[in-house]
Structure 1
């Protein structure tokens, strides 16, 4: 059986990824789409990147770029925090410690970050992007490329409109007409008092708060069945994550 699985924001929670992969019975037949934010939060960011690099050699993987990945990439390029104090306070400290915990092939990791893509559209016209986009003509026409990694207006619009508006309605948001489905991370569902993937019209939010007190989620995009790890604080009981 071949599946396409989408994975939410991991934030250095390597144990959670291994656990949820086991629960989802992930095999090399599966296509894996990662929505970004691999680093910053829990203590195994560097170890996680090492694992993902090897995983990409064994099966089809698509890696989207998140805002935390940009910060980590820029740090790896010069090993200097500089003006990224905000990153240091939001998981960067733990990421730096993970890289200092053992020897890693920095060039190999830099290549991984350099090859991350801003978004992906599959054959079924389904969009995968870390945060969102604001252009009514689609992300390829985005003026501010940082929206790929920071925009929350797409999700906010979708969750407010939800299922109350039909696609042929004049009130249906134009941005959402561009794709059959849109899969995002970036905005934890914890903000909406839930720890499972959420749907707003045709937008699916897979960030179930693994950076904080939530869980890491994997969702089958065809069946909508999903699997989750234990809560991240239970997997890393001596750490705080990004809390």
Structure 2
């Protein structure tokens, strides 16, 4: 039986991802949706991209664009970088690519170019790294950067009254377009959680892999959660993101 599995932020934690996939016991028919931020954090950033490229040859994979992926892609294509990016994980990606050939980098550029800003499935579920701001839905978003930078969707969900029903006139219009929304970008460790968190119809699957948390995946139908060990335990001599 096939599953649809959604993965939170990876941040170069390839060793933890490999452990997680073993725990999941992948079926070749499983569909895998990755919510972005594949790089910037641990030393396996470039190796993580190589692994995902190969994984997509075995399983149906959808790769959503994260803000760190956008920054790393710009650097790969043009050499563009900024100090803030370097301070928040970018330096680890620069280091990781030092021993990569131009041929390898070319394959990675293609991977980054082919990412999607969001994925809307047939069951009316949305998969996006950060969120969207347009009240009428992501198709009418003004600036694509909202898909991988904006945090207001999650902040709104956290501030909502849990008793508020979708048919209430106060229910946020942004949430009414989808049965469920799966996001990453903002670690749930910020609210003291270590597993994916559900607020309103949003599931946040970022469990802080860039810092002290694990990589998480969730079965979108059964809601079964799978997690690696904390990513930092695989890289004891590294600091991850600051």
Which category of TM-score, normalised to the shorter sequence, fits these structures? over 0.9
What is the CA deviation profile of residues 69-90 of structure 1, one whole-angstrom value per residue up to 9, with x for unaligned ones?
0110011113353xx1111111
Q: Distance in 2 between matches of 1:79 and 1:145?
A: 21
Aligned to 2:59: 59
The normalised TM-score by structure 2 is: 0.97
Q: Distance in 2 between matches of 1:121 and 1:168?
A: 22
Please report the RMSD computed on the Cα atoms of aligned residues, expressed in angstroms: 1.1
8 Å CA contact 1:162, 1:200 repeated in 2? no
Aligned to 1:86: 84
Query: 1:169: Cα distance to partner?
Result: 1.0
Aligned to 1:37: 37
8 Å CA contact 1:160, 1:200 repeated in 2? no
In structure 2, stretches of 5+ residues that fail to align are none
Runs ≥4 residues deviating over 2 A: 78-81, 101-104
Aligned to 2:197: 198
Aligned to 1:107: 106
Aligned to 1:161: 160
In structure 1, stretches of 5+ residues that fail to align are none
What is the CA deviation profile of residues 129-166 of structure 1, one whole-angstrom value per residue up to 9, with x for unaligned ones?
00001101001111122110111111111122153201
Query: 1:105: Cα distance to partner?
Result: 1.1
Q: Distance in 1 between matches of 2:53 and 2:31?
A: 15
Q: Distance in 2 between matches of 1:230 and 1:163?
A: 31
What is the CA deviation profile of residues 85-135 of structure 1, one whole-angstrom value per residue up to 9, with x for unaligned ones?
111111111111111144461111100000010000001000000000110
**Which of residues 86, 93, 96 in structure 2 aligns to 1:95?**
93
> What SS does structure 2 have at the residue aligned with 1:240?
coil
Q: Distance in 1 between matches of 2:35 and 2:160?
A: 23
> What SS does structure 2 have at the residue aligned with 1:135?
coil
The normalised TM-score by structure 1 is: 0.96
Aligned to 1:144: 143
Q: Distance in 2 between matches of 1:118 and 1:184?
A: 12
Aligned to 2:170: 171
